[in-house]
């Protein structure tokens, strides 16, 4: 990923005898430095962190699925209970899985929805803060 901020270049000036001349270095103004900070903050807040949160979201879904065995139960839905190959074993296995799946799906879906709400609030927070600051200044 390319860096947004431009790099400062400094050239060495050498006189005819090969001696390096010391010259005053032009530094950035306070406004330029402030704008660099703003650009860096916005790229971190809106690009780097949401990408990280989406990777965590995928990992969270995997860990929840592993702990609650949702995909395993769905793959083995028609497998007999404890490999009891009688009619009772097949029926009992399906009934137990039908009873367990809602108890597993509810926390799975709730946790993922809460994490999505967290990501969305992360994205809205700076904009909302600026809006509330402007609203409080306008009301006075």
- 38-87 pLDDT, tens per residue? 999 999 999 999 999 999 999 999 999 999 999 999 999 988 888 888 99
Six-digit token string for 83 = 């490999």
* 3 φ/ψ angles, rounded to the nearest 5 degrees: -80, 140
Strand ranges for 42-128 from DSSP E: none
2 DSSP 8-state letter: -
CA distance 104 to 68: 6
| Whole-prediction pTM | 0.72
- 99-116 pLDDT, tens per residue? 999 999 999 999 999 999
- 6-29 pLDDT, tens per residue? 555 656 677 778 777 676 667 888
Task: Look at phi and psi of residue 55 and say left if phi exceeds 0, alpha if psi is from -120 to 50, else beta.
Answer: alpha
């Amino acid at each position: 990923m390319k860096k947004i901020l431009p790099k400062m270049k400094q050239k060495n000036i050498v006189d005819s005898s090969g001696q390096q001349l010391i010259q005053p270095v032009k530094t950035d103004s306070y406004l330029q430095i402030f704008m660099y900070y703003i650009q860096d903050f916005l790229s971190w807040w809106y690009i780097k962190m949401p990408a990280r949160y989406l990777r965590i979201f995928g990992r969270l879904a995997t860990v929840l699925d592993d702990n609650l065995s949702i995909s395993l139960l769905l793959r083995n839905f028609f497998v007999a209970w404890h490999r009891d190959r009688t009619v009772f074993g097949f029926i009992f296995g399906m009934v137990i899985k039908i009873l367990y799946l809602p108890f597993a799906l509810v926390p799975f879906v709730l946790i993922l929805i809460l994490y999505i709400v967290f990501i969305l609030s992360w994205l809205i927070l700076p904009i909302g803060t600026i809006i509330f600051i402007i609203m409080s200044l306008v009301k006075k």
